[in-house]
Amino acid sequence: MAAAMIKFEELPANARALILAKLAVALQAQNSASIRDLAQTHRTDVMSLWRSICRTAKQPVCSIPLEAIGSD
């Protein structure tokens, strides 16, 4: 049985800041306007990209904050 996914909002503030900083660096490096654009650039879905960012930040995989997804 898989463990329940940790909510982003339940992570410590420093872990949340680190994950968002890694996302910002990735967005800027690819000149992407959103996480959706970045996922499309990497030819993957948003959740896979988010898991990759969490792993890159050496943090637990957590849910994507709604603010990161935004509205189109």
Chunked into runs of 10 residues, the chain (72 residues) has average pLDDT values of 80 96 96 94 95 94 82 54
What pLDDT, on the 0 to 100 scale, is given for residue 71?
56
Burial class (CB in 10 A: 0-12, 13-18, 19+), 58: exposed
Least Cα distance to 54 among 43, 65, 42 occurs for 65
* pLDDT for position 41: 94
- φ, ψ (nearest 5 deg) of residue 32: -100, 145
- pTM equals 0.85
Q: pLDDT value at position 65?
A: 86
Q: What is the pLDDT of residue 66?
A: 77
